């Protein structure tokens, strides 16, 4: 046993730090590029799909939801609570202009929220027993570090969206904060600056949504399915969108409409909408990536 009172000399100290640095570099390399086998393999093959594939993916998503309804409802009960807390914070802290951007932010962070659902659908494909605890099995995945890093990236995009939305409000309707919800609604829907804010906000939101869709539509499921690394997963997602622009645009529209409907009333519908879309995204990945 090593002497706990041993004082390391400068050579030992330097060697330990070099070893730790090498381990960190190797871990970072695995996160970014995947396993050694994946680095030497060609990029995953991307298929061309159509609207019929989207319908089938949604049907399979509904089927997965029905199979694990009680489990996923238990997991997603927190989202209405989060939505209501965010609404209360924006109203209580006089930042009403951020209420809609925060609500629509579910579309930007949805891929992260659905990781556990991908795992449940993956395990069901393997005829394994599945319950709500299996959603946390992603933490044992070799690619969990890559998924975590991609999730942090999406969080950064979400924060940029909030900053852009507030800047648009400041330039158009602002800079004064609205006195009430009624006053804010009147400024937005009955004045020219309000309509400019709506147009600019929708345009900016569309760009952020396209960015998130492009880099994440198949990257999270791919990382869960194969240890390919963050770089290859994102590149494959971009290729999938580039090869299926119309179909992926339709998928983005379905997701946006589903989340909008699920947010009303009081975000309660997200308990059903998010699980269905999450399971369906796994089956969409299966159709796109070979």
Of 60, 48, 108, which Cα lies nearest the Cα of 287? 48
Sorting pLDDT into bands at 50, 70 and 90, what band is 40?
low
- Per residue in 240-286, pLDDT (tens digit) is 999 999 999 999 999 988 888 877 766 777 778 888 998 999 999 99
- Per residue in 88-107, pLDDT (tens digit) is 666 655 677 777 787 777 77
pLDDT at 71 over 70: no
The whole-number average pLDDT for the span 143-163 is 89
Question: In DSSP terms, which residues pair with 289 in a beta bridge?
Answer: 46
Cα 255 → chain centroid: 12
CA distance 221 to 218: 6
pTM of the predicted model, to two decimals? 0.77
Q: Give the residue with greater pLDDT, 49 vs 266.
A: 49
Within 8 A by CB and 6+ apart from 110, the residues are 255, 259, 274, 277, 278
The whole-number average pLDDT for the span 151-170 is 90
DSSP 58-85: HHHHHHHHHHTHHHHHHHHTHHHHHHHH
DSSP 244-255: -HHHHHHHHHHH
The whole-number average pLDDT for the span 60-82 is 74
CA distance 76 to 147: 20
Whole-number pLDDT of residue 13: 43
Taking the chain, what is the end-to-end CA distance rounded to the nearest angstrom? Answer: 51
> In this prediction, what percent of the chain has a pLDDT beyond 70?
75
Whole-number pLDDT of residue 288: 95
CA distance 135 to 119: 6
Helix (H, G, I), strand (E, B) or coil at 289: strand
Number of helices (H) and strands (E), helices first, in the chain? Answer: 15, 0
CA distance 49 to 213: 16
The whole-number average pLDDT for the span 60-81 is 74
- Residue 275, both tokens: 């699980």
């Amino acid at each position: 046993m090593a002497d706990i009172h041993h004082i390391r000399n400068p050579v030992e100290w330097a060697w330990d730090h070099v070893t730790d640095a090498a381990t960190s570099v190797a871990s970072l390399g695995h996160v970014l590029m995947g396993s050694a086998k994946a680095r030497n393999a060609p990029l995953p093959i991307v298929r061309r799909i159509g609207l019929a594939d989207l319908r089938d993916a949604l049907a399979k998503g509904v089927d997965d939801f029905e199979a694990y309804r009680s489990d996923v409802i238990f997991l997603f009960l927190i989202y209405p609570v989060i939505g209501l807390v965010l609404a209360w914070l924006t109203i209580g802290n006089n930042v009403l202009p951020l209420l809609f951007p925060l609500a629509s932010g579910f579309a930007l962070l949805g891929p992260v929220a659905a990781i556990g659902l991908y795992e449940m659908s993956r395990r069901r494909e393997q005829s394994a027993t599945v319950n709500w605890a299996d959603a946390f099995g992603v933490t044992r995945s070799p690619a969990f570090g890559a998924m975590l890093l991609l999730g942090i990236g999406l969080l950064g995009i979400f924060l940029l969206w909030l900053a852009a939305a507030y800047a648009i409000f400041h330039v158009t309707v602002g800079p004064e904060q609205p006195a009430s919800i009624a006053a804010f609604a009147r400024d937005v829907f009955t004045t020219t600056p309000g309509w400019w804010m709506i147009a600019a906000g929708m345009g900016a939101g569309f760009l952020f949504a396209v960015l998130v869709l492009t880099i994440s539509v198949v990257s999270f499921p791919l990382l869960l399915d194969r240890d390919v690394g963050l770089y290859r997963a994102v590149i494959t997602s971009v290729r999938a969108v580039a090869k299926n622009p119309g179909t992926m645009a339709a998928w983005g529209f379905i997701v946006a409409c589903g989340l909008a409907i699920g947010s009303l009333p009081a975000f309660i519908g997200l308990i059903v909408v998010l699980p269905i879309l999450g399971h369906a995204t796994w089956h969409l990945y299966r159709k796109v990536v070979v």
